[in-house]
Amino acid sequence: MATRPLLLHFADDLRLASAIAQVTGFDIAPIQNHRFPDGEIKLQLPAALPARCIVLRSLHNPNEKLVELLLVARAARDFGSCHLTLVAPYLAYMRQDMAFQSGEVISQRVIGRFLADLFDSVITVDPHLHRVGKLSEAVPATQAVSLSGAPLLADLIAQHHTNPLLIGPDEESAQWLAQAAAAHGFEHAVCKKVRHGDREVDIALPGVSIAGRAVVLLDDVASSGHTLAAATTQILAAGASCVDVAVTHALFAGDALQVIQRAGARHIWSTDCIAHPTNAVSMAAVLASTLISQNI
């Protein structure tokens, strides 16, 4: 019988690693991380590695983590692992999928190929793919698996509302909105967004009746919070009885959470792809079942 894979994790991913291990039965082991005074890092893997290893690393605040993955993957190969899987519940640099001005770097292509060179399999949740049809086009690994937190968020929404109206804050949210709506037959619609900068957006509400409705704004990620805040303000002004927010990835950069709350959002829910106080549903079981079904 083949040796079970070992799930490697960094200290801040311990909780999710433990939850995945409870379902899969995989052993887990920490990656030790030491920072030198000059900012360089030293990593230490377990002394003995099996042929198959899984590395869990959610890639918010990604720049240093990408260096960590480079060091870990190359060392794991040297230490005898012949099959490496990256589980990145949040996958960074996916939104930059084309050049809008001459000379712009298409980061999705660069980072996708970087990860595919390091790992045989890459598993992620709700990657921000807009003009790319599937994950394998962005991350050309042998296996590239994209999961979704939308159905679990829909289950949570159904626990709080009997007949909610799901609204996506922009056209890009339509793919996740459709999945969540389909899970319980919720009515749904999408706003139109015009972005003027990282924190300046105009929102046009969809042509549906909002007055008196319980509305849930649903998206893949909350970053600056300004898009969700602008949509919340307009939806409440249109007469909604309440507005809740549900997102897969709780980036919440800076004061983003407070920005959304000040706009009038009541509940703010997220998955645990990124650890955050708003986490309300866990992706551990979905990630674990995928690792088992893909025979990783």
Q: What is the pLDDT of residue 130?
A: 78
3-state SS class at 263: coil
The letter for the amino acid at 190 is: V
Cα four-point dihedral sign 133, 134, 135, 141? negative
Q: What is the pLDDT of residue 214?
A: 97
Of 73-87, 120-134, 190-204, 269-283, where does mean pLDDT reach its minimum? Answer: 190-204
Flag whether pLDDT at 59 surpasses 90.
yes
Q: What is the pLDDT of residue 1?
A: 38
Give percent of the chain above pLDDT 70.
96
Q: CATH for 6-148+282-293, among 3.40.50.1450, 3.40.50.2020, 3.20.20.70, 3.40.980.10?
A: 3.40.50.2020
Residue range(s) occupied by CATH 3.40.50.2020 in the chain: 6-148+282-293, 150-272
Structure tokens at 80: 């005898």
Specify the CATH architecture of the domain 150-272: 3-Layer(aba) Sandwich (3.40)
Flag whether pLDDT at 63 surpasses 50.
yes
